[in-house]
Structure 1
Amino acid sequence: MNMPRNGFKAALAQSATQYGIWAGFATAYSAEIVAGIGFDWMLIDGEHAPNTVPSVLSQLQAVAPYATAPVVRAVSSDANLIKQLLDVGAQTLMIPMVETAEQAQALVRAMRYPPHGIRGVGGGLTRATRWDSVADYLQTAHDELCLIVQVESSLGMENVEAIAAVEGVDAVFIGPADLSIGLGHAGNPGHPEVQERIQHAVNATLAAGKVCGILAPNEDDARRYQAWGCRFIAVAIDISLLRQSALNTLARYRPAGAALVKAEPSRTY
């Protein structure tokens, strides 16, 4: 059979903005619901959601029939974990807290087979090869793999030009929440210093000929980042959507003035 096509990577090569949603419930059932809504991509979060390799696999299988492209965020840059995620069929990986070009280069090697990398060969054991049914998988796998490095610290911002320039890095994703706390503005990603660093990172990524993305569930933020040049933007978080909808629904039935949980959506993400 043919190599499974990476629709997300192909979309990044086009000019249209790709709108995505964070999937944090860590279940195939909820992931499939989200996949049927029509977002361009969805982030299966293995860093802050309670995901394991088997739960990521079940979500990849659940969303496979849908047009929404899955992106998997690993909990760390561990090469062994990357190998497992690739073997179960993840084609686009996002790796958090990348701070140097050397880290980015190591991630590229983790996603490629020798002699260009260190990825181990699973052959007929792996879903990625469709159990050895994909012809020339070892020689062509990298063509359909996509590596997104997340720059979200002060050190990462200092090195963003070098990180974005690494061959094999397909995109840079900015994390406003971690960046804001790292700059001493916890809970305030809208602080002018944080915003200046974000715009600098976007410009540096574009100058390197790469694609830049960001998480921005607040509409004003999302539109500003799009205007700056971000091309794939997560504009929603499934958990936040459920919570906000539930709060708004309950508020309609509580007496005026009754004590309620804060209903304003958070801008810290």
Structure 2
Amino acid sequence: MQMKKNKFKQAISAGRLQIGLWSSLSDTISVEILAASGFDWLLIDTEHAPNEIPNVVRQLQAAETGTASMVVRPAWNDTVLIKRFLDAGAQTLLIPMVQNAEEAKRAVASTRYPSADGLRGFASQSRASAYGRMEGYFQHAHEEICVLVQVESLAALENIEEIAAVEGVDGIFIGPGDLSADMKHPGEPGHPDVVAKVDAAIARVRATGKPAGILIGNEALARHFTEEGCVFTAIGSDIGLLINGAKRALAAFDDLKQANAQKTA
């Protein structure tokens, strides 16, 4: 059995725009639906979602019938968590709250076996290696693993060039939520000061030669940051789609509810 190629890693390395969606519902059916809906990538969140390893495995399995590349976000830059998600079959990881080059190096090392100068523990029969049936997995796994790191604080932004220079970092993801909070504008990623800071960060990431990414649920801002140079952009979340869809569906019947309320008053 041959190793699965990481088409997401290939795409962002080539500068091909990848439009994605955040998945926070921790549900296999929603992942199965969304993975086949035309998005280039879908992120399974375990940092801010009630999601654990066994459930992530089932979500990765559900996504196999779709066309979206799967990205998993561990709860932290933790070697044990990273090892477990890799063994579960994740090929692309988004590591949260990376503040400097040393933390970026630790994230990368956690995805490499000691033979490739890493810290990853060896499991002979994990899902990642097709339970030991995948030819050359242990020698070449790191070639198809994509490491994305999140810079989401003012301190991290100061270190963009050093973080991007770490060998094995495949992309820099700018987290506007935590950044806006760090800038004293919590929940306001569209604040002019935050937008200006993100624009500058995107330009600096691009100058390093690494692809930049972002999550933003506002369509205008998503277009803006993509036009500024983000290569992998998440344009919303499954929860957002559900909330907004429910609002629109209910609003379509407001006139009937109001008319009925007047008749029965």
**TM-score normalised by L of structure 1:** 0.92
Count of residues in Structure 1 that have an aligned counterpart in Structure 2:
257
Matches within 5 A, 1:1-269: 1-115=1-115, 116-124=117-125, 126-255=126-255
The one-letter amino acid of 1:209's match is: G
Q: CA offsets per residue over residues 90-148 of structure 1, 9 Å max, x none?
A: 00000111111100001111000004111000012x00011111122111001100000
The residue matched to 2:193 in structure 1 has which SS? helix
Write 1 or 2 for the structure with the bigger share of helix: 2
Contact 2:154 / 2:179 at 8 angstroms: preserved in 1?
A: yes
C-alpha separation between the residues in 2 aligned to 1:59 and 1:257?
A: 39
| CA RMSD, Structure 1 to Structure 2 (Å) | 1.4
Tell me, which stretches of 5 or more residues in structure 2 are unaligned? 259-265
Q: Highest Rg: 1 or 2?
A: 2
C-alpha separation between the residues in 1 aligned to 2:207 and 2:256?
A: 53
C-alpha separation between the residues in 2 aligned to 1:220 and 1:254?
A: 27
Q: CA offsets per residue over residues 221-252 of structure 1, 9 Å max, x none?
A: 11111111101100121111111111121122
The one-letter amino acid of 2:128's match is: A
Instruction: Report how far residue 256 of structure 1 moved.
Output: 8.5
Instruction: Report how far residue 254 of structure 1 moved.
Output: 3.0
Instruction: Report how far residue 203 of structure 1 moved.
Output: 1.6
C-alpha separation between the residues in 2 aligned to 1:16 and 1:9?
A: 10
C-alpha separation between the residues in 1 aligned to 2:190 and 2:67?
A: 33
Tell me, which stretches of 5 or more residues in structure 1 are unaligned? 259-269
Instruction: Report how far residue 200 of structure 1 moved.
Output: 2.1
C-alpha separation between the residues in 2 aligned to 1:101 and 1:159?
A: 7
Percent identity reads: 46
The residue matched to 2:33 in structure 1 has which SS? helix
Contact 1:164 / 1:208 at 8 angstroms: preserved in 2?
A: yes
**TM-score normalised by L of structure 2:** 0.93
Contact 1:97 / 1:151 at 8 angstroms: preserved in 2?
A: yes
C-alpha separation between the residues in 2 aligned to 1:230 and 1:127?
A: 32
